[in-house]
Amino acid sequence: MALEISPVEKGETVRFKNPSKRFYEAIGGEEGMRKLMYNFYDKIYESDIAHFFPQDEEEFEKVKEKNSKFFIQICGGPKVYEDEAQSMDLNEYMIRLHDEFSINEKARVEWLGTMRDALDEVEGVDEAIKKEFWDYLDQFSKLTVNTFSDGSTYYASYTQAKEDQ
């Protein structure tokens, strides 16, 4: 199954729904999510967007742990990210964390391509379940793009589906 990257359109309203708990359970729960995310961030550290992340190894390990907690919780795992986001919606909090960076479509595509590589290495998870997780990543990542090729900036609006996961 191909995991396609859809383009960002400046001004679009991004619609997404959180991944269902099926992905979290299929990948092996908290341990499986950490394994996926640590593999992903190890690949990021060698990618063209490594400069977005701390180059100090200890600081980078903290980013890996923090972001792994986000994905564990957003995929239906335990509420291990609550202290980070405080009272803010998890997705909104993660979007706002990216505001301090100038993120363009090329950086988004690199991020997604690296995640696709990490997902390709996950064995034993039904492709349809991976696709559901991918659809969230593809749409949600559009919300981090804030710089466009014409030099303009824009912060997309979004609608999060609130149906039961």
Phi and psi torsions of 134, nearest 5°:
-60, -45
Is residue 25 a contact partner of residue 31, using CB atoms and an 8 Å limit?
no
Q: What is the pLDDT of residues 23-77, one digit of tens each?
A: 999 999 999 999 999 999 999 999 999 998 999 999 999 999 999 998 999 999 9
Residue 117 lies in a domain: yes
**pLDDT tens for each residue of 99-126:** 677 788 999 999 999 999 999 999 999 9
CA-to-CA separations, 92 to 5, 18, 41, 42, in angstroms, rounded: 22, 12, 21, 25
For residue 5, pLDDT over 60 is answered with: yes
Lookup: tokens for 16? 């997404």
| Range of the structural domain that residue 28 is part of | 13-160
In a domain, 3, yes or no: no
- Overall domain count for the chain: 1
Domain annotation covers residue 4 = no
pLDDT for residue 119: 96
Residue 9, pLDDT score:
87
Mean predicted lDDT score pLDDT of the chain: 86
Is 2 part of a structural domain of the chain?
no
State pTM to two decimals: 0.85
Q: What is the CATH number of the domain that holds 95?
A: 1.10.490.10
The answer to the question of residue 1 being in a domain is no
